[in-house]
Chain A
Amino acid sequence: DTEVTQTPKHLVMGMTNKKSLKCEQHMGHRAMYWYKQKAKKPPELMFVYSYEKLSINESVPSRFSPECPNSSLLNLHLHALQPEDSALYLCASSQGVWQGRDEAFFGQGTRLTVV
Chain B
Amino acid sequence: AQSVAQPEDQVNVAEGNPLTVKCTYSVSGNPYLFWYVQYPNRGLQFLLKYITGDNLVKGSYGFEAEFNKSQTSFHLKKPSALVSDSALYFCAVRDGNNAGNMLTFGGGTRLMVKP
Contacts and interface: CB of A to CB of B under 8 A. Distances in A.
Nearest to A103: B46
Contacts, number: 55
Contact of A101 (B36, B41, B45, B96): B96
Interface residues of B, number: 25
Given A98-B100, A105-B46, A111 B41 contact: yes
Given A41-B107, A100-B32, A48 B43 contact: no
Question: Chain A's interface: helix, strand, loop or mixed, by majority?
Answer: loop
A77 B106 CA distance: 28
B90 interface: yes
B110 to A, nearest CB: 8
B108 A42 contact: yes
B32 A101 contact: yes
A40 B43 contact: no
Interface of A: 4, 6, 40-43, 45, 48, 56, 88, 90, 92, 97-98, 100-101, 103-109, 111
